[in-house]
Amino acid sequence: MDASATSPESLTSATDTAMDLAAAAHSATDTSGNTPARPEPRAGSATLAVLTLCAFTLGTGEIMIAGLLPDIAADAGVSLSTAGLLVSVFAATVVVGGPVLALTTSAVGRVRLLVTLFALFVTGTAMSALTSSFPLIAGGRVAAALAHSALMPLFFGLAADAVPPQRRGTAVARVSLGFSLATIVGLPLGTAIGHWFSWRLTFWAVALLALAAAGPVVALGRKPYEPTRDGAEAQAGGGTEVGGGKRAGRLAELRVLGERRVRAVIAVTALSAAGAFTAYTYITPLLTDTTGFSASATTVLLLLFGIGGTVGNLVSGRLADRSVMAAVCAGVAALAAALPLLGATATVKPLAVVFLFLFGAAYYGVIPAVNTRLMNVAPARARNFALTVQSSAFNLGIALGGWLGGEVIASGVSMRWVPVAGGLVTVCALALALAESRARTSA
């Protein structure tokens, strides 16, 4: 996404502190020695509010399908299990399509890319709403997923560029907050609209919301400031192509995966997601069959989980402003503790509620921390690609967690062991995060 006059490889041995100082120094002066316009606090707050809305819209667009599957299945004339493939299609598109799209669009100007991706998301969502043909509905979901996979890294980048380097953690957390709100507000509201009126109206509402948000976001994309570590001020409409052309630019982006710190944070992301979704995939039967809550009470408890996520997200962002690795380690450690404690107390309702809340807070606390860490260690020209790879790793972790939880249940043990198994996976993420923190300290 960002142009560079300095090779990313020359920065590999630099410490994180030095990189942050370089970013701060570069944001103070541009390549011509002039002082660029810095985002004012109010402007930064407005930017983050717009990006939070965008993340909420895309997050709702992704998860709304969960509450609408029976209606879509009936309308399309397919079984519920077949309709469920819409979830898998969306996730698979994000996993595979995100990095491919990031590489193939690396030389496209940011404004043009934003316009194209918003148009693709709106068109795909509208296409699904206009038809009763299951293949066409699935095709619309693929288009929306492709746009989703490329837009989110752009949103994180815009948020990071809108604030001083020392507030990057809070900025990233504000974008991630949109996903928490999608779980708390977007999913139940979209489900209610689908049940009261039509599932198509829910799709139309998301499409119109995305269309309304597109204008302000494209305007943000035109802003001239975008601090980078690579020694060049990216232009608002510029791409990443330099000297060696598109091929050299893509190879440089691919080389980011060879950096230890980038691989480490991506691995922590995947393992944390796997641990969390080992438990979360089966959280409803755990709460109903083991803890003894009714179906209606479980709905309220899942809302509580989302509220916990909102709290954890905001706290993690504040902590990341002070120390990113401390935020990563604290979030993963809290997740590694909350999951087995949830399993251990699953038969005691008050304690189960407490640890369910802490589970949500810890899980959503990890997300802004690992995203901020990745943006700090990835060279600026490869930031967009690195974030899409991380998103793919996150979705692979979700798939792995769902599979592992199913295997635990199939073994015949109590449901209480499902979150315990997730906790063991998260311990692996914690060990890796602590090792990375020690490596950073000794560097």
Of the candidates 255, 278, 296, which is a domain's last residue?
A: 255
Percent of the chain with pLDDT strictly greater than 90: 28
Task: Out of 6-10, 35-39, 201-205, give the one with best mean pLDDT.
Answer: 201-205
Q: How many domains does the chain have?
A: 2
pLDDT at residue 127, rounded to an integer: 94
Note whether residue 1 is domain-resident: no
pLDDT at residue 223, rounded to an integer: 62
Indicate whether this model's pTM tops 0.85: no
DSSP 107-148: TS-HHHHHHHHHHHHHHHHHHHHH---HHHHHHHHHHHHHHH
Give CA–CA dist 26/9, Å, rounded. 18
User: Is the separation of the CB atoms in 243 and 7 below 8 Å?
Assistant: no
Percent of the chain with pLDDT strictly greater than 70: 81
pLDDT tens string 414-441: 889 999 999 999 999 999 999 988 876 6
Neighbour tally for 71: CB within 10 Å: 17
Is the per-residue pLDDT at 368 higher than 80?
Answer: yes
pLDDT at residue 246, rounded to an integer: 55
Is the per-residue pLDDT at 157 higher than 90?
Answer: no
Note whether residue 187 is domain-resident: yes
Specify the range with the lowest mean pLDDT, choosing from 3-17, 55-69, 81-95, 352-366.
3-17
- Is residue 160 located within the same domain as residue 194? yes
Specify the range with the lowest mean pLDDT, choosing from 160-164, 246-250, 353-357.
246-250
Give CA–CA dist 26/5, Å, rounded. 13
- Is residue 240 located within the same domain as residue 311? no
- Is residue 313 located within the same domain as residue 426? yes
Length of the chain: 443
Average pLDDT of span 292-313: 86
Is the per-residue pLDDT at 387 higher than 60?
Answer: yes
- Is residue 280 located within the same domain as residue 394? yes
pLDDT tens string 214-240: 888 887 766 654 444 433 333 333 444
Helix, strand, coil share of the chain (percent; to 5): 80, 0, 20
pLDDT at residue 432, rounded to an integer: 93
- Is residue 243 located within the same domain as residue 271? no
Is the per-residue pLDDT at 175 higher than 70?
Answer: yes
- pLDDT band per the 50, 70, 90 thresholds, residue 18: very low
Of the candidates 231, 255, 279, which is a domain's last residue?
A: 255
Note whether residue 277 is domain-resident: yes
- Is residue 219 located within the same domain as residue 354? no
CATH label of the domain that carries residue 404: 1.20.1250.20
- Is residue 234 located within the same domain as residue 261? no
Note whether residue 79 is domain-resident: yes
Average pLDDT of span 334-358: 95
Neighbour tally for 49: CB within 10 Å: 12
> Under 8 Å CB-to-CB from 11, ≥6 apart: which residues?
19, 229, 230, 379
Note whether residue 235 is domain-resident: yes
pLDDT tens string 35-47: 434 444 455 678 8
Of the candidates 255, 284, 300, which is a domain's last residue?
A: 255
Is the per-residue pLDDT at 303 higher than 90?
Answer: no
- Is residue 329 located within the same domain as residue 419? yes
- Is residue 290 located within the same domain as residue 415? yes
Is the per-residue pLDDT at 3 higher than 70?
Answer: no
> Under 8 Å CB-to-CB from 235, ≥6 apart: which residues?
3, 224
Domain of residue 287, residue span:
256-442
Note whether residue 273 is domain-resident: yes
- Is residue 410 located within the same domain as residue 277? yes
Note whether residue 3 is domain-resident: no
- Is residue 167 located within the same domain as residue 300? no
Note whether residue 2 is domain-resident: no
- Is residue 262 located within the same domain as residue 237? no
Is the per-residue pLDDT at 208 higher than 70?
Answer: yes
Identify the sign of the CA torsion 12, 17, 18, 20.
Answer: positive
User: Is the separation of the CB atoms in 228 and 380 below 8 Å?
Assistant: yes
Average pLDDT of span 84-94: 82
Extract the tokens encoding 351. Answer: 């304690």
